[in-house]
Amino acid sequence: MKTTKEIADQNIHDEITSNLQDLLVKNYDAEKGFAKAMGNAKSENLKQFLKRQAAQRSRFATEITQELRNLNEEPKESGSVTGDLHRTWIDLKTAVVGNEDEAVLEECIRGEKASAEEYDEKLKKYNFPPQVSSVLQKQSSEIHQTLSQVKRLEDLADND
């Protein structure tokens, strides 16, 4: 029989790994979303930017996968298929009307805002181990930078 402390420790472990799995899946979804956006973009510069963002999210997924393995958890291997994906990327296909770069950028902004909010919420709400927290804070910072870049790109597209 487990002690109260063992049960509490297991609950904390489960909460941490569940949140990491959630972020892992969101990064898989974002990677797919950036790849989809790249296919819809007209501008070669925008395509290259989106390609870099897809690679970034792939790296994020790899980093989270490693943290899960460090916690003796098996990482999920693909993105989600649930309805809440619309919050991040699933609406990209329907949002891109006429394959215009501005529509692609608007959808990227929406997805990055959702990602930034989710990272910020999890970092504020949960007490991750220091190594995990460091990885997630770095990723969150990069997502915020990407969001700023996408907003600047949209402003430039608006002026064209």
Q: How far apart are CA 128 and CA 39, in angstroms?
A: 36
Model-wide pTM > 0.95: no
Least confident of 126-130, 142-146, 150-154: 150-154
**The predicted structure's pLDDT at residue 154:** 80
Q: What is the crossing angle of helices 101-125 and 44-70, to 10°?
A: 20
Both tokens of 28, joined, read 């898989």
What is the pLDDT averaged over residues 147-160?
80
Over the stretch 47-88, which tens digit does the pLDDT of each residue have?
A: 999 999 999 999 999 999 999 999 999 998 876 554 345 434
What is the pLDDT averaged over residues 92-121?
79
Both tokens of 105, joined, read 């950028």
What is the pLDDT averaged over residues 109-124?
94
What is the pLDDT averaged over residues 105-116?
90
Burial of 26 (0-12, 13-18, 19+ CB in 10 A): buried
What average pLDDT does the structure give for the chain? Answer: 85
Contact 21, 78 (CB under 8 A): no
Domains observed in the chain: 4-159 (1.20.1260.10)
Contact 49, 37 (CB under 8 A): no
